[in-house]
Structure 1
């Protein structure tokens, strides 16, 4: 089973890419949904968060009540140390949920799965996928789209962009880049081209169900990522932001 990580940025066009992939029948693991799941009262991560931050992060400040997202956000976004603690609890919980779903898909005989991860790089999840797709558009295009879509001022729109890792940095981690710099049809066409290139070889798909070979494949993919290292630490200069209409 080939596992592909998909990421992008605000107003980059990732939602359109996800919708296009769904038309192909490729399973998608939505990490936004998992992020909400792991802070539910029934999940082990919920108790870990409460043990550290206290019931102040809960609605009505009562154990068993849902997370007060506004209050929790105020705490972690205003304090880097607290944010680091929260991420150390939430990111592993999301990773475990991803692995559970991957195992179920593998058992079903799925040959290709896409993990939709906004924080694919920040959460180090790029190290456990076979391929990385980044949906890219220039910052000025992001700014224009956010203002048009959300009715925000240039200052507010820019603040949202700056709150995320720059898309040009994410490109350095990509095996495939979908450049969203043209119209909607071009974006869909580029997505289909990339997905066609990612189709696993049928022979390898069959071999992946032989236990010893499957274990070797997993070990190889993880080792390959680690040996490759962090591109932002090994590349001396960032890539040029100019790009063709699409590439794979």
Structure 2
């Protein structure tokens, strides 16, 4: 694990309203093991808000399905979004991606904010925001600290291939369209190297949480 010099937290924009809860951003490239770290954080008693999960829930709402069908005809079939068809329609087309994001992102942000407010009402000091494209979406400035999970490309490829559904070429294409691992590591508050054992990953995570002053239960 690597960490920056000095305090690890990233101060929020002073123009933003004061929050009652602090945010730990979690991100990483495809196959790095971000989902594994999310499970470890949850096991340590932290509330983990999964942006992908909220996006899936948003795209089950009838109003959103209607907007998606109007914008991308034939991607909704019998009242259900064909995610593969939608991905194929927008992948690699910045204009289409922007169109999709305009429909879904405000709703996802609203759901994440509502869940965060619930955690704050429970008296929680920190909440984890699991966001695959955190840096690409320019959301790091809204976080108090950011964990980046990383591993060598071949390790990530092997893991992603084992999950099924994507070819090696598909994975490489998606990886190439994201911010480079080197740049993510540079921007991170802490980098978790997930190229070794599960025990080593947990050790790095616990050290990061300790340095951030985040109390955990195990």
Q: What's the TM-score once normalised by structure 1's chain length?
A: 0.69
The residue that corresponds to 1:98 in the other structure is 112
Q: Is the 8 A contact 1:143 1:161 kept in 2?
A: no
Alpha-carbon deviations, 1:152-200, whole Å to 9, x = none? 8754553453343322221232111112232221111101111222235
Cα distance, 1:143–1:188 mapped onto 2, change above 3 Å:
same
Structure number, greater radius of gyration? 1
The residue that corresponds to 1:206 in the other structure is none
The residue that corresponds to 2:4 in the other structure is none
Residue 80 (1) aligns with residue 94 (2): yes
Partner Cα separation in structure 2 for residue 69 and residue 152 of structure 1: 14
Partner Cα separation in structure 1 for residue 147 and residue 93 of structure 2: 31
Question: Is there any run of 5+ residues in structure 2 with no aligned partner, and where?
Answer: 1-20
The residue that corresponds to 1:8 in the other structure is 28
Give the counterpart of 1:49 among 62, 68, 89: 68
Q: Which protein has greater RCO, CA pairs closer than 8 Å, 6+ apart?
A: 2
After the TM superposition, which residues 4-43 of structure 1 pair with which residues of structure 2 at under 5 Å, given as runs? 4-42=24-62
Q: What's the TM-score once normalised by structure 2's chain length?
A: 0.78
Question: Is there any run of 5+ residues in structure 1 with no aligned partner, and where?
Answer: 202-248
Q: Give the number of the structure whose residues are more often helix, by fraction.
A: 1
Cα distance, 1:156–1:81 mapped onto 2, change above 3 Å:
closer
The residue that corresponds to 2:121 in the other structure is 107
* Alpha-carbon shift at residue 145 of structure 1 (Å): 3.8
Partner Cα separation in structure 2 for residue 125 and residue 48 of structure 1: 25
Give the counterpart of 1:58 among 54, 61, 76: 76
Alpha-carbon deviations, 1:198-221, whole Å to 9, x = none? 2359xxxxxxxxxxxxxxxxxxxx
Cα distance, 1:82–1:160 mapped onto 2, change above 3 Å:
closer
* Alpha-carbon shift at residue 73 of structure 1 (Å): 1.7
RMSD of aligned Cα (Å) = 2.5
Q: Give the number of the structure whose residues are more often strand, by fraction.
A: 2
